[in-house]
Structure 1
Amino acid sequence: MANRDTLSVDQKDGEKASRPNGKNYLLAIAIDAYKNCSQLNNAVNDAAAFIDLMTSRYNVETAHVTFIKDEQATKRSIDLAFLRLIKLITPQDNLIVYFSGHGRYDEHYGGNWVPVEAGIRDDDWPDYLSNDQVKSYLSRIKSFHTFLIADSCFSGSLFIDKSKEKFSGDRRDTEPSRWGLTSGKKEIVSDGQPGQHSPFAAALLDVLRKADQPPGVMRICDLVLEKVAANAQQMPMGSPLQVVGHQGGQLVFYFREDEEQAWALAQGADTIRAYTDFYDKYPYGNYTEQALDKLEELEEKSAWDKVPKNRQALLLRYLRENPRSPYVKEAQRLLDALRGAEATTPIEEKGEIQPVFQAQAPPAIVVPKLIVPEHMILVKGGSFDMGDVMSDKEFYEERVHTVTLSDFMIAKFQLTFAEYDTFCEATGRELPDDAGWGRGEKPVINVSWFDAIDYCNWCSEQEGLQQVYQIVNQNVSPNWNTNGYRLPTTAEWEYAARSRGEKVRFGNGKNVANPKEINFKGLESNQSQYSMVGEYREKTVPVGSLNSPNALGLYDMSGNVWEWCWDWYEKGYFSNTPVTNPHGSNNGSERVLRGGSWGTVPSFCRVSSRSKFNPVERNEYIGFRVARRSAP
């Protein structure tokens, strides 16, 4: 029999509404076929069984599962998986991490997970994934609940109190939590007989399979500890982790309900309430998009039903605010009928019939000619469908919705070091670090959102334009009617990236990402159905140097560097965004990034993808490009 060490609640109804309704992510890591350590028999099988149970009985969608096993489970791959989750997971989401493989402990180095390529010599410690690194990753993942499960020899240093295996008290899933469950303390733990499950995995799977009501983490820990201690020579541990974010709650494993039946009932009712209730229960289900489409259809009808059909002003307002409504033609027909009736109706005044007043043509208005700077492109306004128009369904935040924009101008290229350095020298600011990649025509990096705002105001001042931003400490108030430089809104950015709203996937007007044309992470391991394998440069390239602009003549709208936009990031904002010239949420903690970078995978380089970042922070992945109002 092998071992896994390389050495010798039920929810109350009143609380349910306040529980975040985000995604449940699962990262599973399992290794049998070690290159330099003894082979295991059941690690991969244990993890696969756990994944199957989570996706069949509990509410974890297959699309949100990452399974790294055997030769894939290198230290680099594991690190990258955690880094991806740091960017991907929101405070509304939950995370389960399952590790099954060898562990190693030393009083000097602490507890460690052993990746597939690591050895067991004294100089192999740097090749391991330490408890401290795991804690660091989990602390940076801003999930609502995190539950770490480790079936290996494991250090108790992850836990808040090493002397306790059980925690008691009222634990609600409406409060954030960070819990851990391990198969042992510092002792050797069993891998089980070949073809079976380890004692720890067998107990865990049994508890989850037999649960007759949604089990909370505390209940799971208690039962697994009891079962394993009674049947194996090892003592599991289960308690809160020594990880930032624990607020005394616990994750509850809710059962997967019959979505098919729920969808049939919603269709039968065919009401706004029925589709809203369905969405609340299945925000990422198989019929979510259909529910939203039906909800939108009914809301459109409800809005139209409320419009008085004999009032020109209200019909005109409806047409202006709902240019893509299915009732536009009917509204226009009614408006034309009202106007026709008014034009043929005489005006009765003092008992006499007066002729209908014929308005004189207004005097011609002389509009100053707009001068478009050489470094910018004029983007004519219009209406377009914003979001996942290609139906990639990578991220729910890309919900398709209609937006109408006025004319604006946007820079052909991402701002360069040469341009930004001039600003720094003129204002006495410290030059941003170029990461050793060079300056000049390379896109500026290591600039915060506030740095970009300051540059826009300075640039406006240099050209005698009105500044857009009034800045008091960290409070920024925009004047959208001025003609100065500013950051594009996220709607403007996407409209321009897609060449005035064309149905395309990437910012160069193409639907397949080619590393020869877009600077992104084009490794074979990152290839998708809409990307090609090619050179991964691991740094920026001079702006426009890949010579692959879109139809408007805009360069690097996908890849090279993420681009700051004006908007605050708000999850779900696309469900409530204004139709005309949206400027984003009124507040938030992070600003929107668009376009992907040299270090991102193809999915983030799609023009429908959004990311976010703290506006005061800087890194080598982020730059910006400027925009302007089109008025002279």
Structure 2
Amino acid sequence: MVLIPAGNFLMGTNSKEGFKSDGEGPIRKVELNAFYIDACAVTNAQFKAFVDDTGYKTDAEKYGWSFVFYQLLSSNIMNKVPQRLPQTPWWCVVPNAYWYQPEGQGTTINNRMEHPVVHISWNDANAYCEWAGKRLPTEAEWEYAARGGLSQKKYPWGDELLPNDKHMCNIWQGQFPKVNTLDDGYLGTAPVKSFPENGYGLYNVAGNVWEWCSDWFTTNLHKKGGKVNPKGPQSGDSKVVRGGSYLCHRSYCNRYRVAARSSNTPDSSTGNMGFRCVIDAKA
């Protein structure tokens, strides 16, 4: 884990690229205590150790299905998929798609042990944290750490998406959702250390997988969150997710920016949703 020093930072954005409907702004100063955060998202290998020790069953396993991006499916599985979502037809409802068989029956994580674990709900992530003696980051902690010591930059490394034409994160290139040119080398998830770390030593806080935070989601966080160690509202319907994923593209989901935010219900899981953990630093 990486120590993030106590301090304050400017949270959120007033940029025109920001989604007002997501409550990204206005910019406000937030003060945080020191904490430790995982340098990487929790991997398949780490989650397997948890399951082997506890016998834990994820929400996806209990429901018997999860959402998988259609281009990741084999023709055999695709032919058996009962439905796609009407408004987002790139998501397929795939029976038996779980963390250990991420594209459904017959697929494995054997060659993806250092990839981030996916098909993880907020409930699952929280259960892992309790087992590991850790917790999920607050949204403010996540953004503070993801910024890597930079102030009000668009990405964890600066304002240019491709500095010196170099890919810095795993997102979609091409025409979403039909054509991915794979310029960054990946269609689905990438190993957790595939791209350079930010100024605090964190990997893949932009793209790859969405990461759960502890907070309930609200679009007026600047009013309800507080300014010192904010923890968000006391209740809600959905939990915050941060960082974007391998499916993010400027034309549709420009949420791999460090101030961007989204949400999902605590029992939801998809093939692009994972997490990392934090612990408090002793005073």
Which band: TM-score by shorter chain? Answer: 0.7 to 0.9
Q: Distance in 2 between matches of 1:437 and 1:425?
A: 16
CA offset at residue 516 of structure 1? 2.6
Query: Are 2:229 and 1:574 equivalent residues in the alignment?
Result: no
Structure number having the greater helix percentage: 1
Letter in 2 for 1:554: L
- Aligned equivalent of 1:383: 8
Q: Secondary structure at the match of 1:398?
A: coil
The CA deviation at 1:503 is 2.5
Task: Give the match for residue 262 of structure 2.
Answer: 611
Quick check: which has more Rg, 1 or 2?
1
TM-superposed CA distance for 1:512, in Å, is 2.3
Matches within 5 A, 1:405-420: 405-420=32-47
- In 2 relative to 1, CA 513–533 (structure 1 residues): closer, same or farther, beyond 3 Å? farther
* Paired position in structure 2 for 1:457: 130
Alpha-carbon shift at residue 576 of structure 1 (Å): 3.5
**Partner of residue 503, structure 1:** 152
**CA–CA distance in structure 1, aligned partners of residues 53 and 142 of structure 2:** 29
TM-score (normalizing by structure 2): 0.74
Tell me the CA shift for residue 573 of structure 1. Answer: 2.0
Counterparts of residues 458-473 of structure 1 (less than 5 Å): 458-460=131-133
Partner of 1:537: 186
Tell me by how many angstroms 1:536 deviates.
Answer: 6.9
Inter-CA distance 612–525: structure 2 relative to 1 (3 Å threshold): closer
Distance 1:624 1:383 in 2: 23
Report the counterpart of residue 18 of structure 2 in structure 1. Answer: 394
1:624 correspondence with 2:272? no
Per-residue deviation, 1:504: 1.5
Distance 2:24 2:40 in 1: 25
Do 1:522 and 1:536's aligned partners in 2 also have CA atoms closer than 8 Å? no
Aligned residues: 225
Separation in structure 1 between the aligned mates of residue 176 and residue 191 of structure 2, nearest angstrom: 26
Q: Structure 1-normalised TM-score?
A: 0.34
Q: Which residue of 2 aligns with 1:520?
A: 171
- What secondary structure is seen at the aligned counterpart in 1 of 2:126? helix
Q: Supply the distance in 1 between the matched residues of 2:278 and 2:153 (Cα, whole angstroms).
A: 22
> Within 1, Cα distance between the matches of 2:201 and 2:273?
22
Distance 2:193 2:108 in 1: 16
Match of 2:64 in 1: none
Cα shift at 1:505: 1.2
What letter matches 1:562 in structure 2?
Answer: W
- Using a 3 Å threshold, how does the CA distance of structure 1 residues 458 and 608 change in structure 2: closer, same or farther? same
In the TM superposition, what is the alpha-carbon distance from 1:577 to its structure 2 partner?
2.5
Rounded to whole Å, the distance in 1 between the matches of 2:191 and 2:222 is 33
CA separation of 1:525 and 1:619: change in aligned 2, threshold 3 A: closer
- CA drift of 1:524 comes to 5.3
Give unpaired runs (5+ residues) of structure 2. 58-97
Map of 1:328 onto structure 2: none
8 Å Cα contact 2:171-2:207 kept in structure 1: yes
Counterpart position of 1:490 = 139
Tell me, yes or no, if the aligned pair for 1:386 and 1:501 is still in contact at 8 Å: no
Cα deviation code 1:53-94 (max 9, x no counterpart):
xxxxxxxxxxxxxxxxxxxxxxxxxxxxxxxxxxxxxxxxxx
> Does the 8 A contact of 1:417 with 1:443 survive in 2?
yes
Name 1:36's counterpart in structure 2: none
Distance in 1 between residues matched to 2:225 and 2:275, nearest whole Å:
23
- Flag the 1:437–1:501 CA change in 2: closer, same or farther, 3 A: farther
Out of 579, 583, 607, the residue aligned to residue 231 of structure 2 is 583
Name the structure, 1 or 2, with higher relative contact order (CA <8 Å, separation 6+): 2
The verdict on how the C-alpha distance between 1:495 and 1:457 changes in structure 2, with shifts beyond 3 A counting, is same
Structure 1 residue runs without a partner (length 5+): 1-375, 461-484, 527-531
In structure 2, distance between residues paired with 1:421 and 1:550: 27
